[in-house]
Structure 1
Amino acid sequence: MDELDTAAILPDVASTDEETNGSRGHKEEADVPLPTTRFVRPPWRCCRPVSVEPVLFLSMFSMALQAPLATQYLWDRISEDLGYNGSERSECSNGSVPPDPLQMEVQTMTAHWNLYINLGGFSVGLLVVPLLGSWSDLAGRRPVLIIPNLGLALQALVYLAVMYLKLPVVYFLVGKLLSGLSGDFNAILAACFAYVADTSDRRSRTFRVAILEACLGLSGMLASIIGGQWQKAQGYINPFWLVVATSLASALYAYLFVRESVLPDPSAKLLTSRHHKAVWHLFSTGGSTSEAGGRFHRYKLWLYVLCFFIVMTVHMGCRDMYVLYVLSSPLCWGPALIGYGSAAQNLDYLSSLLGLKIMQRCLEDSWVAVAGLASNIIGLVVFSVADTTQLMFTGYGLCFLFMAVTPVLRSKLSKLVGPSEQGVLFACVACVQSLCYLVGSGLFSSIYPATLHFMKGFPFLLAAIILFIPAGIIGTLQCLDQRREHRDSTTC
């Protein structure tokens, strides 16, 4: 293959000399033949550069649309099977009226089925997602953008079959397992962030990652608005056909327009233990770039993952608490105010993106993350004492930087590993994020009823206290890095 063909199959991206010298192309053996252009060029050549933001937006829209609708369908089916005809009330319930035992049974069974479905998907994904992430470092990112979207469409089709044929709700678990075998949404998440790491330089990476985070928030907000109103008007069937359509549209976009960001190896195998060994090597040694930083490099990798785990656990746990908190006395919000609150919370994704871009002009990324944590802590403290609608919305406003933390952490982790390890890194981060949902939901759902008798907003106050841990770790690591840089410059 001549130089022109080789240049044509590589992505048009800006990268630093350090990243270029460490790319996979330089690591491959000289006797391995270069793949032909059919492995890396999409069949439709777009005249403008495109990236993976539309893929993540459509996939997140599909997930955010189907998740609450599936829970509501489970509630309705279980209510029908048990003969419960009551409806959920938007106003505060009368405390003098004892709870309906049948309603409590419906709530319990719905919660249990949600738990079984989430645990089933997480268990399968824990094995499959690292496999796909490591494989994408060899075979390319595009297959891991396409295959899980097809799995999400298959899951929605199984759900539709349950609705059309009135099948037992256990088939929801079957659909989730099928999606998990294809990687589910976590594999898409990992591939998108790895793609951005491939196609960005170290200086712009944090903002590019923040754009992907903003896509998650905006698509989630749009899906929440559309899904609830559509379900009330036409039921469950038509919204789930939209889930199928958006998942297939995301896969089609990735196939037609997204250019490959790594040089694929056609001989790369998917089903091999090498991919799981890559996960072990990454976290046991610190990755291929750990020799330059020594033991401190490996410690940074673990500490940033710990920070990410804490931040996402608090975020996921508190997200479930917001609705429960505002439904009961003294706030007594109805569906309209809950919708406005959700919109205000999702708008914080945009304000965080804008704030990150402005603060990067005068602050290091680590201090931007600390500022984001401070914004989140202050907002959570306000939530813990909020007894009026005005105070609740004040808390939403004070959290305007809360999503500036995770892009910085993802970017920091990406810069600690080599270009050939981005896929396995972000696959592991996606699994950690899925674990955070399970831990956060279980932890805060248990704390909330246990502390109602002395402080209703205690879970928010506890979350604010917990966030001091990642703030301290990130600030300390930044100070140590600055001290090392100062010592090295003085030595030179």
Structure 2
Amino acid sequence: MDKMTEDEKSPLLLPQQSVNSDIDVEVETLTQPEFTSKPDPPPLRWRHFLMSPCLAIHLYSYIYCNMVIGQYVYYDIAKQKYPDSSFLTNNGDSQCHTNKTSLAFIERTNIQKLTSDWLMLASVFSSVPAIVMDVVLGSFSDKYGRKPFVVISLIGTFLKTSLITIGISSGISFSYFLLFVGIEGLTGGWCLVLSLGYAYMSDLTVSGKSRTLAFTLVEISVGFGLVLSGVSSGYLIKDVGFVYSMIVISALNGLNLMIVLLFLPESLENSMRKATGVLNLIKSAFAFYTKDTSKDGKRWKYIILTLSYIALTMSLIGRETVEELYQLNAPFCWTSVKIGWFSSIGYIARNVIGLSSIKLLQCCLSDKVIVIVSGLSSVLAYIMEAFAVNDTMLFFVPAIGIFTMLASPVIRSILSKMTPPDQQGALFAGTAVIQSVCTVAADVISKSIYTATVGSFRGFVFLEFGGFSALMLVLFICFMIGCKLK
């Protein structure tokens, strides 16, 4: 740790100096001469750690709200389309008919397609405005600090959940929900808050394994929020219904906003803020990919690592709602409680146990090997999910995919090491834009595939997710080979 700190502060890292991994050697050697040393990060106070629960609550809200909306729309479409059908029981659970010629099976398949199409449209309304706002607000954080833009995004989320609560309670058409999710998109959404969380941790840490560990802790905090979202939403939907379920999350979002507004300190010191124009701030988010910032030429590294991150994101985004429809369908026909438990078990395995193991894995494996293990775990889990025919097979998926999330903090950490301290916000603004674009692309692709194949091979969409995981592996191996040959 001390050596890594020294390396960051020294004006030049000589070629013969060594660090803990081959990737670190390449990254440090190529980037260190290009920017002035970063001042010591501000001393950590307990209030700095409020960023972790902020992220946990925000991602909890995102998944929780998606699960409530998905099941509400599914149930409402079914009641509107087939009001006299035996397709649903009195409490909204789906009767499980597996005979493809039965009327109930045909009705369920039609509802699955309609719900999938509506959720795809909702993703477009939410993510398209976020693509623009993520790059603008994220880049501005390098000049004005991280906290103001976290607050703006939390306000958008609070408004979204509050308006959806009113919409469900008043019985208005769920078409209006598209406008409500669009409000969240205009304030950046979860992608912006998560990217600002990473920039926040970059401000408080030094380059090296300490930053990788900090990023991992962010992922674990998010994981706890995701774990709670599944179980709590399932039971609340069953016990108190959709309206009170949304009241709970709206109140929690309001509390999160107040805590951040009143107690979270700013992480970016005045000496590290960029004094530049608005247009230059926005351009800085894409400069890493359009020109070389080093005489040694490292643009190709940014491009390949970012493509690898895109493939990783495409394999993860859109999974939740497709899984929900998959589990509502035959031969599973799960209740909201069972869907919630599966979601939580998956997040416990991937985002808590899996990510918590990274420190142990770093004792015996290099970062590059950890990414490979992560990719293989993901591919095998998706194959199992695609061909699952009973509950037992489906519940094996989280165990097989336990290391799925390990690649994310490692790739982010490598990108962060390659980037000057005063451009961390721009870097993560770019990744937020990538996540927003991938959210739209992944939802459109995955839901289109699910709609097209639900009547023939309903698990085919998970092979698509597995294909993106395999692509991530190939791209990262190309990065490793390129670092060796350079």
Q: TM-score, normalised by structure 1?
A: 0.80
Greater than 6 Å deviation, 4+ residue runs: 23-26, 100-105, 265-271
The separation in 1 between residues aligned to 2:74 and 2:315, in whole angstroms, is: 27
The separation in 1 between residues aligned to 2:165 and 2:178, in whole angstroms, is: 13
User: How is 1:61-210 mapped onto 2 (pairs within 5 angstroms)?
Assistant: 61-78=60-77, 84=83, 86=85, 87=88, 88-89=93-94, 91-99=96-104, 110-203=115-208, 204-210=210-216
Q: Which residue of 1 aligns with 2:437?
A: 435
Distance 1:385 1:50, change over 3 A: closer
CA contact (8 A) 2:160 2:183 kept: yes
Write the deviation string for residues 324-377 of structure 1: whole angstroms up to 9, x where unpaired.
555555556555554443233112222221321111113221211111112222
Q: Which residue of 1 aligns with 2:8?
A: 18
CA contact (8 A) 1:16 1:202 kept: no
1:60 corresponds to 2:50: no
Q: Which ranges of structure 1 fall in alignment gaps of 5 or more residues?
A: 1-13, 27-39, 485-492
Distance 1:386 1:170, change over 3 A: closer
Q: Which residue of 2 aligns with 1:229?
A: 235
Distance 1:58 1:16, change over 3 A: farther
Q: 1:291 aligns with which of 284, 291, 294?
A: 294
CA contact (8 A) 1:373 1:405 kept: yes
SS at match of 1:50: helix
The separation in 2 between residues aligned to 1:247 and 1:202, in whole angstroms, is: 33
Q: Which residue of 2 aligns with 1:405?
A: 407
CA contact (8 A) 1:367 1:475 kept: no
CA contact (8 A) 2:139 2:426 kept: yes
The separation in 2 between residues aligned to 1:189 and 1:381, in whole angstroms, is: 29
User: How is 1:219-368 mapped onto 2 (pairs within 5 angstroms)?
Assistant: 219-264=225-270, 272-286=278-292, 290-294=293-297, 297-326=298-327, 337-348=338-349, 349-368=351-370
Q: 1:426 aligns with which of 425, 428, 448?
A: 428
State the Cα distance separating 1:141 from its structure 2 match: 0.7
State the Cα distance separating 1:142 from its structure 2 match: 0.9
Distance 1:200 1:20, change over 3 A: farther
Distance 1:159 1:380, change over 3 A: closer
CA contact (8 A) 1:377 1:464 kept: yes
SS at match of 2:357: helix
Percent identity among equivalent residues?
22
Aligned positions, number: 450
Write the deviation string for residues 375-408 of structure 1: whole angstroms up to 9, x where unpaired.
2222233334444443333332121111101111
Q: Which moved more, 1:399-408 or 1:178-187?
A: 178-187
CA contact (8 A) 2:358 2:406 kept: yes
CA contact (8 A) 2:96 2:332 kept: no
The separation in 1 between residues aligned to 2:139 and 2:194, in whole angstroms, is: 14
CA contact (8 A) 1:330 1:387 kept: yes
Q: Which moved more, 1:299-308 or 1:266-275?
A: 266-275
Distance 1:112 1:331, change over 3 A: closer
Q: Which residue of 1 aligns with 2:14?
A: none
State the Cα distance separating 1:315 from its structure 2 match: 2.2
Structure 2 counterpart of 1:404, which letter? L
The separation in 2 between residues aligned to 1:90 and 1:335, in whole angstroms, is: 13
Q: TM-score, normalised by structure 2?
A: 0.81
Write the deviation string for residues 24-80 of structure 1: whole angstroms up to 9, x where unpaired.
988xxxxxxxxxxxxx99xxx966752511110111122122222123333455556
User: How is 1:470-489 mapped onto 2 (pairs within 5 angstroms)?
Assistant: 470-482=472-484, 484=486
The separation in 1 between residues aligned to 2:414 and 2:273, in whole angstroms, is: 31
Structure 2 counterpart of 1:438, which letter? V
Structure 2 counterpart of 1:122, which letter? S
State the Cα distance separating 1:96 from its structure 2 match: 3.2
CA contact (8 A) 1:90 1:335 kept: no
The separation in 2 between residues aligned to 1:166 and 1:323, in whole angstroms, is: 23
State the Cα distance separating 1:249 from its structure 2 match: 2.3
The separation in 1 between residues aligned to 2:76 and 2:335, in whole angstroms, is: 24
SS at match of 2:363: coil
CA contact (8 A) 1:75 1:107 kept: yes
Q: Which ranges of structure 2 fall in alignment gaps of 5 or more residues?
A: 12-34
State the Cα distance separating 1:140 from its structure 2 match: 0.5
CA contact (8 A) 2:234 2:337 kept: no
Structure 1 counterpart of 2:302, which letter? L
SS at match of 1:467: helix
Structure 1 counterpart of 2:303, which letter? W
Q: Which moved more, 1:461-470 or 1:304-313?
A: 461-470
Q: Which residue of 1 aligns with 2:217?
A: 211
State the Cα distance separating 1:153 from its structure 2 match: 0.8
Distance 1:347 1:131, change over 3 A: same
CA contact (8 A) 1:16 1:201 kept: no
Q: Which residue of 1 aligns with 2:25?
A: none
Write the deviation string for residues 396-439 of structure 1: whole angstroms up to 9, x where unpaired.
21211111011111112212221122112212212222322332
Q: Which moved more, 1:440-449 or 1:121-130?
A: 440-449
The separation in 2 between residues aligned to 1:269 and 1:166, in whole angstroms, is: 50
Q: Which moved more, 1:261-270 or 1:471-480?
A: 261-270
Distance 1:47 1:414, change over 3 A: closer
